[in-house]
């Protein structure tokens, strides 16, 4: 996999809206302003916004070709060193016909996002470049009052340094607070809850290494069968990342999604699974039982699973490099980067 250059102070990054146009709505634009100032002040980046990123929900929905143009133009622009997603949604899939994988491959740069951006990460995987599953503009960079220390450290370490050997530890805190995004002057920090579980090994043991691949499982049904969904060979020896969205799918739906992966024989060829903390810890115990049940159905009781990772819709979150080699110690419940995902 091709590594993008690490970020440094003074670098230019571009904001794109590839799914929902929420960031451009008049009652939410303050979130953009918070994030832009934070990226400039705390991380020393020069922030530009691609031409269509702030055109609002209706325009973004009606013009997938312009969303894709923003992405392609950001990759083509040699002065831009990183591309950060505004927010997720449920509509990234409609930009698929307009993607030029050669442009992405020939202009590798840091791509950051999660949720529906899972579609984009599989695009990056098809193009052969490492991408970064992590914070979005509206949520984490646009967090009221202050950015969570765990998230800020993850961005700084993984995107700005040679982080070979970096251990991604469990956050000591998480939150189930939700503050409406249309509040313009929020001055109270979210309530933090002490982490009581840490990483959990659901089954299996030992140490495995491999490239990380995956994202939000809610998004998988939209991309299965498309040009960006890997075949069995493409999944071989990978470590599968799975997290669930704010929709908090029922254990029954998680069962169906996992059975689909089993039917594709993905569980037979991957080396292990890492699973994100369910948002608000809803279905926390129920999901654990689903994973063990479905893996047993496909005779994969020995496939190791590490559960409760701080990623995606699990607030507070970090960053995971997709396509980069990681090491998962299922016996000692540790996760670390075997290589720096940037150059």
Per-residue model confidence as pLDDT tens digits over 94-106: 999 999 999 999 9
My answer on whether 129 and 186 are in the same domain is no
**Length of the chain (residues):** 343
In a domain, residue 116? The reply is yes
d(CA 280, CA 278): 6
Provide the pLDDT for residue 3.
98
My answer on whether 177 and 149 are in the same domain is no
H or E stretch at 220: helix 220-223
In a domain, residue 1? The reply is no
My answer on whether 113 and 261 are in the same domain is no
Provide the pLDDT for residue 190.
85
In a domain, residue 342? The reply is no
Do residues 341 and 2 make contact, with C-beta atoms less than 8 angstroms apart? no
Q: What is the DSSP annotation of 125-179? A: HHHTB-EEE---IIIIIT-SSS--HHHHHHHHHHHHS--TT-B-PPPSEE-----
Provide the pLDDT for residue 184.
78
Identify the domain boundary among 100, 134, 160. Answer: 160
Q: What φ, ψ does residue 160 adopt, rounded to 5°? A: -115, -5
CATH number at residue 105: 3.40.50.10740
My answer on whether 210 and 71 are in the same domain is no
The β-bridge relationship of strands 131-133 and 325-329 is: unpaired
Share of the chain above pLDDT 70, in %: 99
pLDDT tens, the chain, 343 aa long: 999 999 999 999 999 999 999 999 999 999 999 999 999 999 999 999 999 999 999 999 999 999 999 999 999 999 999 999 999 999 999 999 999 999 999 999 999 999 999 999 999 999 999 999 999 999 999 999 999 999 999 999 999 999 999 999 999 999 998 888 887 777 767 889 999 999 999 999 999 999 999 999 999 999 999 999 999 999 999 999 999 999 999 999 999 999 999 999 999 999 999 999 999 999 999 999 999 999 999 999 999 999 999 999 999 999 999 999 999 999 999 999 999 999 9
- Its domain, for residue 111, covers 12-160
My answer on whether 56 and 188 are in the same domain is no
Identify the domain boundary among 160, 190, 215. Answer: 160
CATH number at residue 304: 3.50.30.60
My answer on whether 153 and 49 are in the same domain is yes
In a domain, residue 168? The reply is no
Taking only the tens place, the pLDDT of each residue in 261-320 is 999 999 999 999 999 999 999 999 999 999 999 999 999 999 999 999 999 999 999 999
Provide the pLDDT for residue 218.
98
My answer on whether 102 and 222 are in the same domain is no
My answer on whether 251 and 306 are in the same domain is yes
Identify the domain boundary among 160, 185, 217. Answer: 160
Do residues 97 and 69 make contact, with C-beta atoms less than 8 angstroms apart? no
Cα pseudo-dihedral 5, 8, 10, 13, rounded to 10: 50
In a domain, residue 252? The reply is yes
Provide the pLDDT for residue 203.
98
**CB-based contacts of 149: which residues, under 8 Å, 6+ apart?**
none
Provide the pLDDT for residue 179.
81
My answer on whether 138 and 261 are in the same domain is no
Do residues 318 and 311 make contact, with C-beta atoms less than 8 angstroms apart? yes
Provide the pLDDT for residue 171.
97
Provide the pLDDT for residue 121.
98
In a domain, residue 296? The reply is yes
My answer on whether 47 and 132 are in the same domain is yes
Provide the pLDDT for residue 314.
92
My answer on whether 207 and 138 are in the same domain is no
- Write down the residue that tokens 């982080």 correspond to: 163
């Amino acid at each position: 996999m091709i590594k993008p250059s690490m970020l440094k102070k003074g670098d230019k990054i571009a904001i794109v809206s590839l799914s929902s146009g929420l960031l451009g709505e008049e009652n939410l634009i303050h979130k953009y302003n918070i994030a832009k100032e934070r990226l400039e002040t705390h991380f020393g980046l020069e922030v530009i916004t691609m031409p269509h990123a702030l055109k609002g929900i209706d325009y973004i929905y009606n013009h997938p070709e312009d969303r894709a143009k923003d992405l392609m133009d950001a990759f083509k622009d040699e002065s831009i060193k990183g591309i950060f997603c505004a927010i997720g949604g449920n509509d990234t899939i409609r930009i698929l016909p307009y993607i030029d994988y050669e442009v992405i491959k020939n202009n590798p740069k840091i791509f950051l996002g999660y949720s529906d951006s899972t579609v984009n990460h599989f695009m990056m995987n098809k193009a052969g470049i490492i991408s970064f599953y992590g914070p979005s503009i509206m949520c984490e960079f646009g967090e009221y009052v202050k950015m969570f220390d765990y998230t800020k450290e993850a961005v700084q370490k993984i995107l700005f340094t040679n982080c070979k050997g970096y251990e991604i530890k469990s956050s000591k805190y998480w939150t189930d607070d939700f503050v409406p995004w249309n509040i313009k002057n929020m001055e109270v920090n979210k309530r933090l809850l002490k982490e009581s579980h840490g990483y959990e090994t659901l089954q299996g043991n030992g140490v495995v290494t491999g490239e990380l691949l995956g994202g939000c499982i809610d998004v998988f049904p939209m991309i299965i069968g498309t040009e960006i969904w890997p075949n069995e060979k493409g999944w071989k020896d990978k470590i599968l990342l799975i997290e669930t969205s704010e929709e908090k799918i029922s254990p029954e739906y998680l069962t169906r999604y996992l059975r689909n992966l089993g039917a594709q024989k993905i569980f037979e060829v991957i080396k292990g699974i890492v699973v994100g903390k369910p948002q608000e810890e809803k279905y926390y115990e129920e999901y654990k039982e689903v994973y063990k049940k479905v893996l047993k159905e496909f005779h994969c009781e020995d496939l190791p699973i590490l559960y409760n990772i701080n990623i995606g819709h699990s607030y507070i979150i970090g960053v995971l490099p997709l396509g980069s080699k990681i090491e998962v110690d299922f016996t000692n419940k540790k996760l670390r980067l075997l290589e720096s995902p940037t150059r």
